[in-house]
Amino acid sequence: MEKWFEASWTSVIAICITTIGIYLAVIIFTRLAGKRSFSKMSSFDFAMTVAIGSIIATTVLSKSVSLTDGVVGLAMVYILQLTVATLRRSSNIEKLVDNTPLMLMDGTKILHENLKKARVTESDLRSKLRETNVLELSQVRAVVFEATGDISVLHTKDENVELEDWLMQGVRK
């Protein structure tokens, strides 16, 4: 346990230099690849964020991984992300990489089977409705469990407003 607090000045300096190097590499690669690198648009984007965090931590704290190794690993993850983002323009690749949005409520009707598929409880659903300021179920046009894991509530106070079909394209009922 006493080794938890041991460190040589050499290792502290090495960690500082490596941290600065990997930090600059992340900034450069993110500028080259774009903001999408840290979005949570799809499961692949989430995996990208986790991979980058892991590479940063390993490069900074592991003596067996050099700064060059970490930068090369980062570059490969960014190249993969850009490649998949480009390939996602094909609907087959998009289906393979992305989750499909799932409708949880169709108007005022709760779709219990879809709640089970999404592993969302009625309590979670009520909480999300409150969070989005739904005062009456009659205001709800649809609730969607998005590909990102977020829950979108489409609602209006004007009961005459219809939900446009375009907004629901690709959503599984």
pLDDT digits (tens, 9 = 90+) for 90-102: 878 877 777 889 9
Amino acid at 4: W
Please give the Cα distance from 99 to 133 (Å, whole number).
27
The total of other beta-carbon atoms located within 10 Å of residue 35's CB is: 8
Residue 152 is predicted with a pLDDT of: 95
| CA-wise closest residue to 75 among 63, 87, 83 | 83
Written as six digits, the tokens of 134 are 């739904």
The answer to whether residue 37 scores a pLDDT higher than 80 is no
Which helix (H) or strand (E) segment holds residue 110: the answer is strand 109-110
The answer to whether residue 43 scores a pLDDT higher than 80 is no
- Find residue 150's DSSP bridge partners: none
Please give the Cα distance from 54 to 59 (Å, whole number).
8
Residue 39 is predicted with a pLDDT of: 63
Please give the Cα distance from 155 to 140 (Å, whole number).
4
With contact defined as beta carbons under 8 Å apart, do 51 and 44 qualify? Answer: no
Written as six digits, the tokens of 73 are 């690993």
pTM value is: 0.69
